[in-house]
C-alpha cells in the first residue's frame, strides 16, 4: 500500500513540475503552432512546414504539409537519394571498348572530370596512357542543353551550365584579370573567342557570351583589379573534342558507334565527395549531371526523364504525395513537392545511409559549412541543424535534420513560396523557428 501511494505521489509531482523524462523529451505541438501564428513574416506568403520525430516515428507538427510548393534546390535531395540507390561508392567516368588499334569510349555524364573542386583525373589518365587511336562516341545523350523549365535568360550565369554527355572542367570558363590588367581565360582554348566590344556597355563590368555561340565580349573600359567571373560555355561535340585534344595532347576522333554489352567502366571520383560538393554549396551542374550518370548506369543512355520516372516508380512510390519532378538541380519551376513528402524522403535517406555522422557531413551544416554556414550559430561549438536550402526568386526553403538540446532527432521541411519581402527576412525567420525548437526541446 505504501509503495503504491509513493509511486502515485511521485507521478503527480512529475506532472506538476514537468520533470518526468517522458515530459521533458516530448515536443509540444501547440507551442510550435504558436510560433507560426504569431509570426508576421510566415503569414504574409505561402508557408508550409512539416516536423517529424525520427525516434518515435511520428509527425509532430504540420502546416500546409500536404500542399505543393516550388522546392528550388531542395530538389537535390531527390537526386541524392536516387544516386544512393543506383550508384556505388565511385562515379563512373566513362565506358570503353578496344577494337584492334582503336579505343572507343562513351561519356557517362560524369561531372567530376577535371572539375575545379573534385578534380577527377582517373578517366583522363586512362585516355592519356592508351597507345590506341582515341574515338569518342557521341551516341547515348538524348536531352537538350537546358533542363525543362529553366530560365533561358540565365544562360550567362555561373549556376546554369549546360548539360551534356561528357562535361569537362565544370562546362564553364573562368575569366580573370592578370597582374598586368589584361583579361585571361581558363581553359585557354577559349581565348580565341574573347574580344573587347566598344558597343558593349553594361551597367557594371562583366563578360557576356553570345547565346548561340562561344563568342565572349567585354567592355572597352579598364578591367577592374582582381576581376573574376565564371561563364558557362556553349557545349557541342566539336567543343568537347577540341578540349579533349587540347588536354590529352593527341587527336580524338568522333564516331557514332553504339555501345555493346562488352563495354568496360573506368571509375573516377569518390561518390561521397561528389555528393558533398552537390549538397553543401548547392552545385546545380553536378546535380543535373548526376541524374544522367544514373541513367547511364541503368539504361546505357543519358536521359533525365527516364531515370526520374524509374526513381518515382521504384524508390519513391511510398511518398505521401507524388513528386512533380522535372530536373536534377531544382532550376526548373516545374518541380513541385509537398513538405510531408520531403520529410518522408529525409527519413528514407537516413535509413539508406545508416550512418548519421556521414550523412550530416555531406549536408550543409549550420554554423560550419555550406549554404547555412552563416545563417545559424552553433550551440557551444556544436552544430544542431543539417539542411538543404532552396532558393529561386520569391521562393526560399530549408529541409533537413535537427537535433534538440535534449537529444531529439527530428526531420523537417520548411517551405516559403510567393513572398515579396527580401529573402533574408525569410531566412532569418526559418533560423529563428528552427533554433527555438532546438533550444526548447
The band of 29, judged by pLDDT with boundaries at 50, 70 and 90, is: confident
User: What integer pLDDT is reported at residue 324 of this predicted model?
Assistant: 98
Do both 201 and 292 map to the same domain? Answer: no
Distance CA 73, CA 342 (A): 12
Whether 411 and 295 share a structural domain: yes
Q: Does the residue 107 lie in any domain?
A: no
**Could you identify the residue written with the cell 513538405?**
339
Position with higher pLDDT, 10 vs 436? 436
Q: Is the pLDDT score of 184 beyond 50?
A: yes
- In a domain? residue 173: yes
Q: Which of 79, 67, 148 lies closest to 416 in space, CA to CA?
A: 67
Distance from C-alpha of 291 to C-alpha of 295, rounded to nearest angstrom? 6
Say if 154 falls within a structural domain.
no
Same domain (yes/no): 360, 422: yes
* 77 found inside a domain: yes
Candidates 436, 414, 287, 435; CA nearest to 342 is 414
User: Does 21 map to a domain?
Assistant: no
H/E stretch holding 32 reads helix 29-37
> What pLDDT does residue 25 have?
57
Instruction: Output the domain CATH number for residue 358.
Output: 3.40.710.10
Give the tens place of pLDDT for each residue, 361-404. Answer: 999 999 999 999 999 999 999 999 999 999 999 999 999 999 99
**Smallest Cα–Cα separation from 254: which of 346, 393, 136, 380?**
136
Answer with the one of 234, 260, 276 that is the final residue of a domain. Answer: 234
> How far, in Å, CA of 305 to CA of 293, rounded?
13
Are residue 207 and residue 336 in the same domain, yes or no?
no
Output the pLDDT for position 27: 74
For residue 420, pLDDT over 70 is answered with: yes
Residues in Cβ contact with 291 at an 8 Å cutoff, skipping those fewer than 6 apart: 79, 82, 109, 304, 307, 308, 327, 328
Q: What is the pTM of this model?
A: 0.92
The pLDDT of 216-234, averaged and rounded, is: 97
| Residue 379 confidence (pLDDT) | 97
Is the link from the previous residue into 187 a cis peptide, with omega within 30 of 0? yes
Which domain range does residue 37 map to?
26-83+285-440
Residue 34 has pLDDT above 90, yes or no: yes
- Could you tell me if residue 349 is inside a domain? yes
- On whether both 417 and 296 belong to a single domain, the answer is yes
Number of domains comprising the chain: 2
User: What is the Cα–Cα distance from 129 to 221, expressed in whole angstroms?
Assistant: 45
Task: Print burial letters for 357-392: b (CB count within 10 Å at least 16), e (below 16).
Answer: eebbbbbbbbbbbbbbeebbeebeeebbbbbbbbbb
When pLDDT is averaged across residues 182-193 and rounded to a whole number, the result is 96
Whether the Cβ atoms of residue 169 and residue 160 lie closer than 8 Å to each other: no
Q: Which of 288, 156, 286, 168 is nearest to 230 (CA)?
A: 156
pLDDT at 21 over 90: no
CA separation, residue 324 to residues 78, 309, 335, 341, 387 (Å): 11, 10, 5, 11, 21
Amino acid at each position: 500500500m505504501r509503495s503504491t501511494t509513493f509511486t502515485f505521489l511521485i507521478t503527480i509531482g512529475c506532472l506538476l513540475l514537468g520533470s518526468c523524462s517522458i515530459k521533458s523529451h516530448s515536443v509540444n505541438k501547440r507551442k510550435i503552432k504558436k510560433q507560426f501564428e504569431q509570426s508576421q513574416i510566415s503569414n504574409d506568403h505561402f508557408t508550409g512546414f512539416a516536423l517529424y520525430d525520427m525516434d518515435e516515428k511520428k509527425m509532430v507538427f504540420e502546416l500546409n504539409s500536404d500542399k505543393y510548393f516550388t522546392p528550388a534546390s531542395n530538389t537535390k535531395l531527390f537526386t541524392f537519394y536516387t544516386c544512393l540507390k543506383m550508384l556505388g561508392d565511385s562515379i563512373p567516368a566513362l565506358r570503353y571498348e578496344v577494337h584492334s588499334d582503336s579505343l572507343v569510349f562513351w561519356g557517362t555524364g560524369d561531372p567530376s572530370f577535371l572539375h575545379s573542386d573534385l578534380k577527377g583525373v582517373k578517366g583522363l589518365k586512362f585516355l592519356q596512357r592508351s597507345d590506341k587511336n582515341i574515338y569518342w562516341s557521341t551516341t547515348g545523350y538524348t536531352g537538350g542543353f537546358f533542363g525543362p523549365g529553366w530560365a533561358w535568360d540565365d544562360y550567362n550565369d555561373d549556376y546554369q551550365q549546360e548539360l551534356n554527355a561528357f562535361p569537362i572542367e565544370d562546362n564553364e570558363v573562368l575569366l580573370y584579370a592578370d597582374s598586368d590588367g589584361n583579361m585571361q581565360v581558363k581553359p585557354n582554348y577559349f581565348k580565341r573567342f574573347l574580344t573587347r566590344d566598344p558597343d558593349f556597355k553594361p551597367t557594371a563590368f562583366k563578360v557576356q557570351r553570345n547565346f548561340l555561340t562561344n563568342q565572349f565580349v567585354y567592355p572597352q573600359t579598364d578591367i577592374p583589379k582582381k576581376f573574376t567571373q565564371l561563364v558557362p560555355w556553349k557545349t557541342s561535340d566539336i567543343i568537347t573534342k577540341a578540349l579533349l585534344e587540347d588536354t590529352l595532347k593527341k587527336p580524338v576522333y568522333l564516331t557514332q558507334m553504339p555501345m555493346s554489352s562488352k563495354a568496360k567502366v573506368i571509375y573516377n571520383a569518390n561518390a561521397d565527395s561528389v555528393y558533398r560538393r552537390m549538397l553543401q554549396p548547392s552545385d546545380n551542374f553536378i546535380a543535373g549531371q548526376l541524374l544522367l550518370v544514373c541513367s547511364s548506369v541503368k539504361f546505357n543512355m543519358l536521359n533525365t526523364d527516364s531515370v526520374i520516372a524509374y526513381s518515382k516508380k521504384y524508390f519513391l512510390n511510398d511518398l505521401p504525395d507524388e513528386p512533380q519532378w522535372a530536373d536534377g538541380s531544382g532550376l526548373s519551376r516545374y518541380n513541385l513537392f509537398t513538405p510531408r513528402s520531403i520529410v518522408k524522403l529525409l527519413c528514407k535517406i537516413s535509413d539508406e545511409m545508416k550512418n548519421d555522422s556521414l550523412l550530416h557531413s555531406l549536408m550543409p551544416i549550420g554554423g560550419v559549412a555550406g549554404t547555412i554556414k552563416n545563417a545559424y550559430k552553433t550551440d557551444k561549438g556544436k552544430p544542431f541543424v543539417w539542411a538543404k536550402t532552396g532558393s529561386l526568386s520569391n521562393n526560399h526553403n530549408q529541409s533537413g535534420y535537427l537535433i534538440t538540446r535534449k537529444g531529439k532527432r527530428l526531420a523537417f521541411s520548411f517551405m516559403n513560396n510567393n513572398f515579396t519581402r527580401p529573402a533574408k527576412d525569410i531566412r532569418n525567420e526559418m533560423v529563428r523557428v528552427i533554433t527555438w525548437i532546438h533550444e526548447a526541446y
